[in-house]
Structure 1
C-alpha cells in the first residue's frame, strides 16, 4: 500500500509538471511582453550624453566663459542617472537640463542645491505643471476645503469633494488629481498649504459655488433625497514658499 501511495504521488507530480511548466512559460511571456515597452524609455549613456551636451550648450551659449565650471558631482551624477528613465518625459527632462546648466554657471550656483534633483525625481508630469502654474503668481492664492454638508448638523458626506480645491484644473487631470498633487508638492517642501487661514477681503464664495461643486451637490441630492444638503467650505491659502521659488529659479 505504501508503494502504491508513493507511486501515486510520483505519477501525480509527473502529470502536474507539464501544466505548471506551461503556465509558468505563458506567464513569463506575458510579463516579458508587458515590460517590453519600458526598454524604449531607458536611455543609454551615449544617447544621454549627446542630448545633454546639445541642450546644455544651448542654455550656456550666452554665458561668459569665465563663469563656466564643471557641475558638482552631487548634482550631476544623480541627475544624469535619473535621465536614463525620465528622458521621455519632456516636462521633467527640461527641468533636469535647466538645473544641470545652472549648476555649471558660477553666477547661479547660489540658487542650485542637490536636493532639487530628488524633488524632480519624485514629481510626475502633473506635479511639474501644477507647480509651474502656481509659481506664475507671487503671494497667497485662495484655496478652499469644500464639503457637502447636511444642513443644520455638523455632518458632511466624506469623499465626495476633493480635500483641496483651487477652482480650476489642468488639461487631462481632474479636481481630485489636482488635490493629490497639491498635497505632494507640500510634502516636497516647495509650497505651503495653510488650512483655515484666509486672505483678508478675498471673495471665497466663488470657490464654494462653481459648476463642479454644484454638479457634485446635485448628484448627492439625487442619491439622498431625504437630506437637506448644502455646500460648505473652509477658506484657506496656498503659496509657493522661498524654497519653492529658488527651486523654480534653478530648474528653468
Structure 2
C-alpha cells in the first residue's frame, strides 16, 4: 500500500475515533460533574489531549492550563447564568485547539469564544463560523485585529514611489498603515490586513478621514528609506512620493466577532 493511501486511511480512522471520544467525553463529564465548566474541561481532556496522551507528552500541564484559562474567563459569570455551550461551538473549537493550543494569541481567542458561549446572556453573540475564521488567522493577524478593534477609524494609504506614470511596484506595501502597528514589517502588516479584510472582519475604504493630514505619511521613516533606495537605483529621473488617503475600520461583523472572541483584559 502506498504511503499516501496509508495516510488517508489513518486520517479517516482518527476522525471516527475522535467522534467516539467526543461523545464519550461529553457523557462522562456530564454524568460526573453536571456543570458546564466540568463538561468542557472533560471534553478538552478526552478530545484535545487524546493524541497527546497517546504520545506521552505533557498533557497534564495542558489540561491544567486550559482549566485555569477557562475558569479565569468565566469567573465573572454568575453561576446561574453559566450554561453548557452549544455543541456547534464547543465541538469545532475543541477540535481546533488540538493544533493551536501552544499558540497563545489563537488559544486566547478560542477560549474567549468558549466562555462567551457559556453565558446565557452572551451566547447569542457566538457563531460556528467564528471557529473557521480563527483557523484562518496567524498570530500576527490576531494581534493586528485586537489592536484595530480598539482604534476606530485607522488612516492608511496607497503610497507609491515613481516618476511620470511609472511606479516601483515593490517599493511599498499595498496598504501602508503605520498607526496600526508601527513596530511591524510594513509588508507583513499589509498582508495581515488584507487577510483580515478577506475574512470580513475589517473594511478598507477609499474614503478619507476628515481633518487627518495624510501628508504625514510622506515623511515617515520607512517611506523615506524606500524613497532613497529607489533614487539609488535610478539617478536620472526625478522621483515623487504619491499619497492616496484611505481609511481602515472594523465593520459590524468584525465588532461582533470581537465581542465574542476578544476580552477586555487581553
- Give the structure 1 partner of residue 148 of structure 2: 134
Please list, as runs of the form range in 1=range in 2, the aligned pairs for 1:1-252 lying within 5 A after superposition: 44-45=49-50, 47=59, 49-138=63-152, 140-150=153-163, 153-168=164-179, 170=181, 173-194=184-205, 196-251=206-261, 252=263
Larger radius of gyration: 1
Structure 1 position 203, deviation (Å): 0.6
Match of 1:12 in 2: none
Give the Cα separation in 2 of the matches to 1:169 and 1:199.
Answer: 15
Whether the 8 Å CA contact 2:155–2:179 is kept in 1: the answer is no
Deviation at 1:64, TM superposition (A): 1.5
Q: CA deviation at 1:199?
A: 1.4
Q: Which residues of structure 1 form unaligned runs of 5+?
A: 1-42
The alignment's TM-score, normalised by the length of structure 1, stands at 0.77
Unpaired segments ≥5 residues, structure 2: 1-47, 54-58
CA contact (8 A) 2:215 2:243 kept: no
The alignment of Structure 1 onto Structure 2 pairs a total of residues equal to: 206
**How big is the shift at 1:170?**
4.1
In 1, Cα distance between the equivalents of 2:181 and 2:217?
Answer: 16
Contact kept? 1:102, 1:112, Cα under 8 Å:
yes
| SS at structure 1 position matched to 2:176 | coil
* Distance in structure 2 (CA, Å) of the matches to 1:44 and 1:70: 20
RMSD over aligned Cα atoms: 1.7
In the alignment, is the contact (CA less than 8 A) between 2:157 and 2:175 conserved in 1?
yes
1:26 matched residue in structure 2: none
- Displacement of 1:90 after TM fit? 0.7
